[in-house]
Amino acid sequence: MTEQKATNVAWHEHNVTTTERTKLNGHKGAVLWFTGLSGCGKSTIANAVDRLLHDRGIHTYVLDGDNIRLGLNKNLSFSPDDRTENIRRIGEVAKLFADSATIVLTAFISPYKADRAQVRGIIGEGMFHEVLVDASLETCERRDPKGLYKKARTGEIKGFTGIDAPYEAPEAPELTLDSDKKGIEELANEVIAHLEANGLLSA
Amino acid sequence: MTEQKATNVAWHEHNVTTTERTKLNGHKGAVLWFTGLSGCGKSTIANAVDRLLHDRGIHTYVLDGDNIRLGLNKNLSFSPDDRTENIRRIGEVAKLFADSATIVLTAFISPYKADRAQVRGIIGEGMFHEVLVDASLETCERRDPKGLYKKARTGEIKGFTGIDAPYEAPEAPELTLDSDKKGIEELANEVIAHLEANGLLSA
């Protein structure tokens, strides 16, 4: 666990409550945490879900790896410690967005079970929805949308998930999407159905 | 400047644009960055403005020092380097909220000019509104709502802004609030007037 360094601090109840923000938005906040190998479709599916939700008037936001690494987490590398801190910070930001009654979609490989468990603890059960985007390494390497697998195979990139770094798949994700067999639209609709079934699209 | 460590990353245009999020919310995003001595009223005024905005149907969120230090920035101390990183991270998170068409109110002492200049650069002119909550050290020390000045005077707390660490006041803030002479309600309404004058309360 990350050590609490600052003392003389205490949690403030915001004057405007989460319940009031939920009422204004017309729906609850939640975190859809997409996890899976590079190239499995996390970002594409998250953005497709974002579009469907936005078009229904749901307040959403997408946090994805590349954007976060150019801003909040620009001072983090891909070392194991920095990967853990990367995921921790994203979890904390996702929690703030969810607290503001936003449905936040995060698209990060997030390969380590312990890191995702920490985020689940930060965000809380009921609010945190782990979505495994399940595609075989073969599928992802064949797609290779950014040419990263090729670089990992030649050793140009070290510590690449699935090649020379592990991917620890979730054992009990809230939702599993079969990205080997199904297309983006079908999978995005499965996510919407999950949100509806969990009562997250109403206040 | 913070070094960019990750390579192989590129900014993704979100499928749902900021313009679309602005249209959904009915107003633009912005950052109201309250700065001033401990006890000057930053948090109280920010929360009063938050209440006024929320009651008008504006989508808002408050980031304040204590809450952030229990979450996102729990691994930061009050050393100069960590104070800089504290403010940088908050600036990056505020930028994300503003990009989601939220008016975000931040309440941090943020004593260093260079740190606030960095945040202004991150968030961008027009989006970043520096609000100086101007109260004399005497006023703040008399109020001492958390008993921190007392601890700073006895040396129990080191590096306390205004006592044994500097406060570098902004030279050209977008707004200055006279917290020595005016009450919370009057000052909160001055902030609302500033937002209206800058066209931030409409889409």
Residues of chain A contacting B82 with CB distance shorter than 8 Å: 5
* Model pLDDT for residues A189-200, shown as the tens digit of each residue: 999 999 999 999
Q: What is the 3-state secondary structure (H, E, C) of chain A?
A: CCCCCCCCCCCCCCCCCHHHHHHHHCCCCEEEEEECCCCCCHHHHHHHHHHHHHHCCCCEEEEEHHHHHCCCCCCCCCCHHHHHHHHHHHHHHHHHHHHCCCEEEEECCCCCHHHHHHHHHHHCECCEEEEEEECCHHHHHHHCCCCHHHHHHHCCCCCCECCCECCCCCCCCCEEEECCCCCHHHHHHHHHHHHHHCCCCCC
- Round to whole Å and give the CA distance between A98 and B84: 26
- Whole-number pLDDT of residue B65: 72
- Whole-number pLDDT of residue A166: 94
Residue A202 lies in a domain: no
- Whole-number pLDDT of residue B189: 97
CATH of the domain at A121: 3.40.50.300
Residue A10 lies in a domain: no
Query: Which residue matches tokens 């205490």?
Result: A10
- Whole-number pLDDT of residue B167: 97
This complex has an ipTM of: 0.91
Ranges in chain A, pLDDT < 50: 9-13
Buried b (16+ CB within 10 A) or exposed e, B20-44: ebbebbebbbbbbbbbbbbbbbbbb
Cα–Cα distances in Å, from A50 out to A63, A104, B202? 11, 9, 23
Closest CA to A42 of A105, A86, A113: A105
Residue A148 lies in a domain: yes
Residue B193 lies in a domain: yes
Domain tally, chain B: 1
Integer Rg of chain A from CA: 17
**What predicted TM-score, i.e. pTM, was given to this entire model?**
0.92
Strands A128-134 and A60-64 come out as unpaired
Contacts of B115 (CB under 8 A, 6+ apart): B83, B84, B87, B88
Contacts of B153 (CB under 8 A, 6+ apart): B163
Chain B CB within 8 Å of residue A76 CB: yes
Residue A66 lies in a domain: yes
Residue A92 lies in a domain: yes
Instruction: Write down the catalytic residue from B38, B100, B110, B179.
Output: B110
Ranges in chain B, pLDDT < 70: 1-14, 66
Contact state of A89 with B85 under an 8 Å Cβ cutoff: no
Known active-site residue A136: no
- Round to whole Å and give the CA distance between A76 and B5: 6
- Element (DSSP H or E) covering residue B92: helix B80-99
Q: Compute the residue count for chain A.
A: 203
- Whole-number pLDDT of residue B52: 96
- Whole-number pLDDT of residue A20: 96
- Whole-number pLDDT of residue B201: 94
Contacts of B35 (CB under 8 A, 6+ apart): B42, B108, B109, B110, B111, B116, B130, B131, B132, B133, B170, B173
Closest CA to B79 of B106, B112, B105, B107: B112
Most A CBs within 10 Å, among B70, B81, B150, to test the A interface: B70
Residues 10-69 of A with CB under 8 A from B: 10-12, 14-16, 20-21, 24-25, 43, 47-48, 50-51, 54, 57, 59-67, 69
- Whole-number pLDDT of residue A4: 64
Residues of chain A contacting B15 with CB distance shorter than 8 Å: 47-48, 50-51, 62
Contact state of A76 with B6 under an 8 Å Cβ cutoff: yes
* Model pLDDT for residues A140-184, shown as the tens digit of each residue: 999 998 999 999 999 999 989 999 999 999 999 999 999 999 999
Residue A98 lies in a domain: yes
**Domain limits for position A170:** 20-196
- Whole-number pLDDT of residue A42: 95
Chain A with chain B: Cβ pairs closer than 8 A: 148
Residue B108 lies in a domain: yes
